[in-house]
Structure 1
Amino acid sequence: MASPAIDDYLKTIYHHTEWQDDRITPSQLAAELGLAPSSVTEMVQKLAAQGLVTHRPYGPIALSEEGERRAAAIIRRHRLIETWLVSEFGYAWDEVHDEAEVLEHAISDRLLEGIDERLGRPRFDPHGDAIPDAAGHVHREPFVLLAQAPAGHVGRVLRVSDRDPELLRAVESAGVAVGTTVTVTDAAALRIGTASVSLPDAAADAVWLSI
């Protein structure tokens, strides 16, 4: 049964392991969703009963095969809508998240397919996050978090987290965008060509580069 609340849980669990390997814990899930731990525990039990997650008491949470399929489907909607808003309506990349949160539950499958076709079947959204295809598959290349990249590392910007619109604006103002080739100076500084670029400290944990 369709449920925005369930979709939000599944999306959050899915997001957690997209760019690192550790599974999400109940306390982390509660913090991400801004909910009381007791409420999260109750919902996780319901999700497990529906076969959407696997979980043991106090242990980490993982999506089941069905949970992964459902999470990928709603994330596909969200990221295609973000891409559509930027491409067709002139939204900036820091403006699209909240709009997509509303629209992902409202548009029909037919309209979604039309958006995907019109956009040329994009593989990535404006922030560099992979858009699952209709079968739920994603395509990513090896990556490293800026905070973990050694000085002198050269790579393309693969992704900038969309969690903080202010940080997105600061990164954009610095001339850094998805696809930009950069050389790492340190965790808060890059070089683009011969130009040195300073980023907010928070960018170290919000920018991913190709290896």
Structure 2
Amino acid sequence: MQGQHYPDRFTVRPRATHYQSLLKTTHCPGRSTHLVIEHKFTSMVARPLSPSAEDYLKAIYGLSENGEAASTSAIAESLDIQPPSVTEMIKRLAEAGLLEHELHRGVRLTRPGEVEALRIMRRHRILETYLCERLGYSWHDVHQEAERLEHAVSDHLIEQMSLALGAPSHDPHGAPIPTKMGTIEETDLVTLNDAPTGTRLRIRAVRDEDPDGLRSIAEEGLTPGKLVTISGEAASDGSIRISFDTDSEVERSVPPELAKQIYVVSDHR
């Protein structure tokens, strides 16, 4: 998938998943032996999916998260693939029970399809986090690296990475990481260029597929967690005037192409 989709809502709720509960005995020096209930995803697919099929499921998940079916043309555009090839893959995934396709109405993931989409999203975002935090990658370099690795690593390795990282909830770009129990954070996100003037905003996430855009975002200090306020109407070229919470006297101009890559929520402190 070419880019990461950022959810529209931020309530923690179970997504349609299937996972195993395992009883595991653990012992730590100086502590009593205790039982830990460990949850993990288990695949609901009879055969391993191809990397291409996994990318399709991720794309459809993102395109249909607002409750609408994903159209063939939208899937083709998202993955930069010709529509006839998309039609053929949709047929194969439907036969595998991973999605439902209604003629002229688009496609929706079935429960098993959503499980697989969340599994690969979890892999991708943990890989990005590990590459940044443990291997020193820049945040503008990790997306394509994670795209390649997500199809090759095991679920066990991903869980070991997550454990080593302290079970992070978000990736370096602010996107929520699906939990191994099958939940994902969702919120009311808007892009910076669509946010109202005068509103105090918290940057929650940025799109991760444009390395040059990520470099510019970092240079401008518009990273997840920062507080900003849109201080005036957009300029004739579409640029957004903002001020930072830490220095409200200084205004900056954010180009429209950059503002569209930054996701914010209202901050009501």
- Which segments of 5 or more consecutive residues in structure 2 lack a partner in the other structure? 1-46
Q: Is the 8 A contact 1:152 1:183 kept in 2?
A: yes
Superposition pairs for residues 1-211 of structure 1, below 5 Å? 1-2=47-48, 3-17=50-64, 22-185=68-231, 186=234, 188-193=240-245, 194=248, 195-211=250-266
**Shift in Å, 1:122:** 0.7
Distance in 2 separating the partners of 1:92 and 1:24: 32
Identity over aligned residues, as a percent?
38
The 3 A distance-change label for structure 1 pair 130 and 150 is same
The 3 A distance-change label for structure 1 pair 141 and 60 is same
Q: Is the 8 A contact 2:193 2:256 kept in 1?
A: no
Distance in 2 separating the partners of 1:157 and 1:24: 27
Q: Is the 8 A contact 1:174 1:198 kept in 2?
A: no
Q: Secondary structure at the match of 2:138?
A: coil
Rg larger in 1 or in 2? 2
Q: Is the 8 A contact 1:171 1:199 kept in 2?
A: no
- Number of residue pairs matched? 210
Q: Which runs of 4+ in 1 moved over 3 A?
A: 20-23
Query: Greater share of helix residues, 1 or 2?
Result: 1
The 3 A distance-change label for structure 1 pair 23 and 192 is farther
Distance in 2 separating the partners of 1:165 and 1:148: 22
**Shift in Å, 1:131:** 0.4
Distance in 2 separating the partners of 1:17 and 1:207: 21
TM-score (norm 2): 0.73
**Shift in Å, 1:5:** 1.0
Matching residue of 2:42 = none
TM-score (norm 1): 0.92
Distance in 2 separating the partners of 1:199 and 1:206: 11
**Shift in Å, 1:199:** 2.0
Q: Secondary structure at the match of 2:242?
A: strand
Distance in 1 separating the partners of 2:222 and 2:123: 26
CA-to-aligned-CA distance 1:84-123 (integer Å, 9 cap, x gap): 0110111111100111111112222222111101111111
Considering Cα pairs closer than 8 Å and 6+ residues apart, tell me whether 1 or 2 has the greater RCO. 2
Query: Greater share of strand residues, 1 or 2?
Result: 2
